[in-house]
Amino acid sequence: MSSPREASAATRPWSLARRFSDDLSGVFGSVLCDVMVVGSATLGDWQADSDVDLVCVVARTPDPAELDTISRLHNRSRHEYGHTIDAMYVTPECLSLGPALSTRWWSPSPVSCTASRRTGS
């Protein structure tokens, strides 16, 4: 049986993802379809100093103003949440192709506020 402290640490990435997705809802509204936790949290390897990795499904391509706002959210995530929040933004159509076939994954750049095209790897 795990201790309350271990259980709390295990659920922490999901509570951070929920807080971040609430903030994203303020940017996207109903355009935000889903937020999925991926990476070390789902593999059972998340540590107190780990980042939180997300895949955010959005109904349409983020416009420049939205990209600017979500870039700022990501850039200040360590200060706001105590952890860096990394995310990929993808439409449902592109998600259905899978990362190996899709060339339309967006990730806010920590340096500029423009969309970057990524291939999943």
Contact 20, 56 (CB under 8 A): no
Model confidence at 7: pLDDT above 70: no
* CATH ID of 4-118, from 2.40.160, 3.20.20, 3.30.460, 3.40.50: 3.30.460
Exposure of 101 in the CB half-sphere (CA atoms within 13 A): 6
Q: Is the pTM of this model over 0.85?
A: no
pLDDT tens, residue by residue, 79-100:
888 889 998 888 888 877 766 5
Residues of the chain with pLDDT > 90, as a percent, come to 19
Quote the pLDDT of residue 117.
37
